[in-house]
Amino acid sequence: MAFGLIFNCFGLALSQLSHARFRRVFFIGIGLSFLLLVAAVAGFSWLIDWITPEQVWLPILGEVQWVHELISWGGAFLLTFLSIFLMVPVASAITSMFLDDVADAVEGRHYPNLPPVKRIPFGEALRDTVNFLGLLFGANLLALILAIIFAPAALFIFWGVNGFLLGREYFTLVAMRRVGRKGAVQLRRKHTATIWAAGVLMAVPLSVPLINLLIPILGAATFTHLYHRLESRSG
């Protein structure tokens, strides 16, 4: 596992953070993530309001009307609270849909002699994004349960799970632009430990508010550099 290589790739990604394409993907990712979460909160609130009866009969108290409002407001507040933690995974998944822009910017500056790549069709990119989003939600739900059971190790569980997923997905998406999906999977399996470690480096700042919103962009750029370094070694 080459930690020096990983930090070098991350440093190169940081140095390009002000690039126009990086900013574009950042604002698109944050904007779509915010709209998606707002829609989820509104939809959940409407669903709770629709399925909860106006009046509920309780032992001793009889018919009461405030249970409906309590459940509606409680559900809305709960989902709003959870959305704070879901913002980054959602942004990460949406950013993966526009990863070509980040990778093109990195390759244009640092690897100018590479041949152009065929861009991934929007439908395929959208499918990968939805799959990644579902995987992130499921894995983070599992991580949350494990964190409750093993509270002292909660942060390490969070970093490990998200590091594995971010590394696996971003590296695969970057690599398949050049060597196809099959070649990307083979290269990823060959360098699993390094890719996981790089993913953990991305996952650690996810615990820091505001800074964590930059991680999807930095992750895409870092794994673009990492792919080219590992591919050259394998070749």
Most confident of 96-105, 116-125, 203-212: 96-105
Residue 70 within any structural domain of the chain = no
Q: What is the pLDDT of residue 218?
A: 87
Q: Is residue 72 part of a domain?
A: no
What does the longest C-alpha to C-alpha distance in the chain come to? 78
For residue 216, pLDDT over 80 is answered with: yes
Does some domain include residue 163? yes
pLDDT per residue as tens digits for the range 45-77: 666 666 665 555 545 554 555 555 556 556 666
**The token pair that represents 99 in the structure block:** 């990863």
User: At residue 189, does pLDDT exceed 80?
Assistant: yes
Residue 147 lies in a domain: yes
Predicted confidence (pLDDT) per residue in 113-145, tens digit: 888 887 777 777 778 777 877 777 788 778 878
Q: How many residues does the chain have?
A: 235
Q: Does residue 179 register a pLDDT over 80?
A: yes
How many domains is the chain built from?
1
pLDDT for the residue 169: 86
d(CA 156, CA 193): 16
The percent of residues in the chain predicted with pLDDT above 90, rounded, is: 17
DSSP characters over 117-182: -PPPPHHHHHHHHHHHHHHHHHHHHHHHHHHHHTGGGHHHHHHHHHHHHHHHHHHHHHHHHHHHHH
Q: Tens of pLDDT along 76-85?
A: 666 666 655 6
What residues make up the domain containing 165? Answer: 3-33+87-234
Instruction: Establish if 55 belongs to a structural domain.
Output: no
115 found inside a domain: yes
Give me the torsion for CA of 122, 123, 129, 135, rounded to 10°: -160
Residue 63 within a domain: no
Task: Please tell me the distance from the alpha carbon of residue 172 to that of residue 41, in angstroms, as a whole number.
Answer: 32
Three-class secondary structure of residue 58 per DSSP: strand
47 inside domain: no
Distance between CA atoms of 95 and 216, rounded to whole angstroms?
6
Cβ-in-10-Å burial (0-12, 13-18, 19+) of 28 comes to middle
pLDDT in tens, 12-31: 998 998 888 888 888 887 78
